[in-house]
A = this chain, B = another copy of it.
Amino acid sequence: MLPPVHPQTLADVSEDDLLALIFPSLPTNDSVLVGPGDDTAQLATGSGAVLATTDAMVLGRDWRDEWSTGEDVGRKCVAQNVADIAAMGGVTTGLLITLVAAPETNVAWVQSFTKGLVAAAGEIGVAVLGGDLSSAPAGVRMISVTALGETEVPVVHRSGATPGDVIAFAGSLGRSAAGLELLQRGTPDLAPELVAYHCRPRAAYEQGPVAARCGATAMLDLSDGLVRDLGRIAKASGVRAQLDGAALAPFVEALATAVGEEARACVLTGGEEHSLLATFPDRGAVPEGWHVLGTVGEGAGVVLDGELQHGGGWDHFAG
């Protein structure tokens, strides 16, 4: 093969390709109970264990100052990390926060961010353990959060789904994407509650440990869209995920008044919802408050009423 004319950049590869380049070489040791590739890692700590996950937010990519206050960003960065701990069946106990910001950043923004962070963490009993502050080039602001947690039951991986299992979720579908759609259209007043959910998601964290105790066989939180995230369970478990259109219909319908034709895409591929998606051995095991969306079968990929669904959802680098 001829060498490429220009060096390959991140814009030329998908996030998954890049992860595949990085993951095989990562060092491990005897303390690692769960390594890379799940919602969180788990590390032995003497006689105990800690769940650990990290997630970043970048100005202009993950939020815009016109649409989100500092307080919103503070709340959102808590939500997305705590949801990852919940998706293993765990409870978050502490957070580390890194703020990298350009010198022209207003102190008032940092105070507003801290207010949201403190409120979101405090409401669910999570401690802020510390962090790091660093300056950035003009125009740049980003947050990196690490959440630490624990679980009283064995963790729920993405890889445990088997044919015959039932697919269900706790929380909402497509609300964050619908809220973003309204902001992009300039019509946030059509459904302020959807816009509020986009800016300040609040996932059903407490349902993570509930699902684990009820015997969930696989679980994750909806970060990048239902089809894409369900595809991750299907791939990790070596199964086919079969969505039932009739079960999804009420959730599409609920968004139709606000975003019309886009409602279906919001439900199937909308990211940043942070609801919990899990598989259970049978309908009887599905906890109260969870919504059944389909079943697990033999094969691969995600199908909706028998039709294979492709990709969708968010990729950080794909052009």
Instruction: Give chain A's interface residues, CB within 8 Å of chain B.
Output: 7-13, 15, 18-19, 21-22, 25-29, 31-32, 35-38, 40-41, 43-50, 52-58, 60-62, 93-94, 96-98, 100-108, 110-111, 114-115, 118, 121-122, 125-137, 139-140, 142, 144, 146, 148, 150, 316-317, 319
Contacts and interface: CB of A to CB of B under 8 A. Distances in A.
A31 B28 CA distance: 27
A127 B10 contact: no
Contacts of A134: 56-58, 61-62, 142, 316
A35 to B, nearest CB: 6
B10 A132 contact: no
Contacts of A140: 136-137, 140
Given A54-B144, A142-B100, A317 B43 contact: no
16 contacts: A7-B107, A10-B101, A15-B133, A18-B133, A27-B126, A27-B127, A31-B127, A41-B129, A43-B50, A43-B93, A52-B129, A57-B134, A58-B135, A98-B144, A137-B139, A142-B142
Given A54-B96, A130-B36, A146-B52, A106 B7 contact: yes
Contacts of A100: 56, 58, 142, 144
B137 A316 contact: no
Copies of this chain, tallied across the complex: 2
Nearest to A118: B25
A14 to B, nearest CB: 11
B137 A103 contact: no
A60 to B, nearest CB: 6
Contacts of A142: 100, 134, 136, 142
A139 B102 CA distance: 14
A292 to B, nearest CB: 30
Given A29-B93, A41-B129, A104-B10, A135 B317 contact: yes
B137 A37 contact: no
A140 to B, nearest CB: 5
B136 A9 contact: no
Given A50-B50, A132-B56, A135-B10, A31 B93 contact: yes
B96 A11 contact: no
A100 to B, nearest CB: 6
A28 to B, nearest CB: 5
B47 A46 contact: yes
B22 A110 contact: yes
B50 A148 contact: yes
Contacts of A35: 127, 129-130
